[in-house]
Amino acid sequence: MDRTIKIGDRTVNRLGYGAMRITGEGIWGPPPDHDVAIAVLKRAVELGTNFIDTADAYGPEVSENLIREALYPYDGLVIATKGGLLRDGPGLWRPDGRPAHIREACDASLRRLGVDQIVLYQFHRPDPEVSFTDSVKTFFELQQEGKVKHVGLSNVTVDQLKHAMELGAIVSVQNNYSVLNREHEPVLRACEQNGIAFIPYFPIGGNTGGLSEQVIDGIARTHGATTRQIGLAWLLQHSPVMLPIPGTGSLEHLEENMEAGDIVLTEDEIERLDELAG
């Protein structure tokens, strides 16, 4: 199993870090312990992570600010962020795909991160009130202007991915996907066919129960691992374009997540996990 993957012209390790949960409750406001959040970011890099995923909406702004404080000048790191999603309060999200907003969001992320160019800038979520074409074209315009190196998408369908690829080069797709949630399997396969990195969020994907719980727990016991670690190990072995970004605000959980990269599932275990998809 390859331990690295290409994001455009950058090579990164296949276990990244998602920096959403270093904010407050409801992904709103500052973290409960600022020093712990900084320590988690630094420890993620010490453990081999060189792909950090964030967004202007996380906090909002909090996650990007913490990343700059902890990791600038990002030597050897790929800092990926997103634009196109607004916040109305804890747990409240609202898409805004207007070209003007995307431009403002990009400029603000550049300032917060302290960079002249965002290595990977992702469209956070299509906006049903705005032309998908107009939104995506704006990302490619920012790329042409040198503010963005590579363009990615998030929360898209196969048709949206194909359309975006007609407008320019897409290097990544970030969708909800896990051993228990295969809704976006067709998107993953489209990414495989086109050499696009697939970044799954929510690595377990909901509450286990019944047979699913028995299977995952049994495999976890065999490896002396947690169910979350098994979910991450399965993702890594399920597809060569997979780039999981488990997120946590806990040093203990961070260490646990990173250890998942050393778990090798047997063919029988993979087959049993594959069968859990409904």
Question: Three-class SS string for 165-232?
Answer: HHHCCEEEEEEECECCECCCHHHHHHHHHHCCEEEEECCCCCCCCHHHHHHHHHHHHHHCCCHHHHHH
- Give the pLDDT of residue 118: 98
Ranking 12-26, 103-117, 208-222 by mean pLDDT, the lowest is 208-222
95 closest CA partner among 122, 123, 126: 126
157 is a domain residue: yes
Of 58, 121, 177, 201, which is the active-site residue? 58
pLDDT single digits (tens) 55-102: 999 999 999 999 999 999 999 999 999 999 999 999 999 999 999 999
How far apart CA 75 and CA 126 sit, in angstroms, is 32
Residue 202 phi, psi dihedral angles, 5° rounding: 65, 80
Q: Is 72 a catalytic residue?
A: no
Report the distance separating Cα 249 and Cα 21, nearest Å.
5
Span 217-269, pLDDT tens digits = 999 999 999 999 999 999 999 999 999 999 999 999 999 999 999 999 999 99
- Beta carbons of 118 and 81 less than 8 angstroms apart: yes
Res 106: pLDDT: 98
Q: Could you tell me if 78 and 12 are in contact, meaning their C-beta atoms sit under 8 angstroms apart?
A: yes
pLDDT band at 209 (very low <50, low <70, confident <90, very high): low
Which pLDDT does position 83 carry in this prediction? 98
268 within some domain:
no
Q: How many CB atoms lie within 10 A of CB 210?
A: 7
Q: What is the pLDDT of residue 278?
A: 55
Give alpha helix (H) positions in the chain. 34-46, 62-71, 99-113, 132-144, 158-167, 185-194, 210-223, 227-238, 251-259, 267-274
User: Is pLDDT above 80 for 207?
Assistant: no
Q: Global pTM?
A: 0.96
Q: Which domain holds residue 22?
A: 4-205+238-259
- pLDDT given for residue 276 in this prediction: 86
Residue 227 domain flag: no
Please enumerate in sequence order all residues whose Cβ is within 8 A of that of 57, keeping only pairs 6 or more positions apart, or say none.
Answer: 27, 82, 85, 86, 87, 93, 124
What's the confidence (pLDDT) of residue 202? 85
Residue 256, Cβ density class (10 Å: 0-12 exposed, 13-18 middle, ≥19 buried): middle
Is residue 214 in some structural domain? no
pLDDT of residue 205: 64
Instruction: For residue range 4-52, list pLDDT tens digits in order.
Output: 999 999 999 999 999 999 999 999 999 999 999 999 999 999 999 999 9
Chain segment 130-189, per-residue pLDDT in tens: 999 999 999 999 999 999 999 999 999 999 999 999 999 999 999 999 998 999 999 999
Nearest to 7 by CA among 242, 264, 260: 242
Q: Is residue 218 part of a domain?
A: no
CATH number of the domain within which 91 lies: 3.20.20.100
Domain count, the chain: 1
Cis peptide before 60 (omega within 30 of 0): yes
Per-residue pLDDT, 191: 98
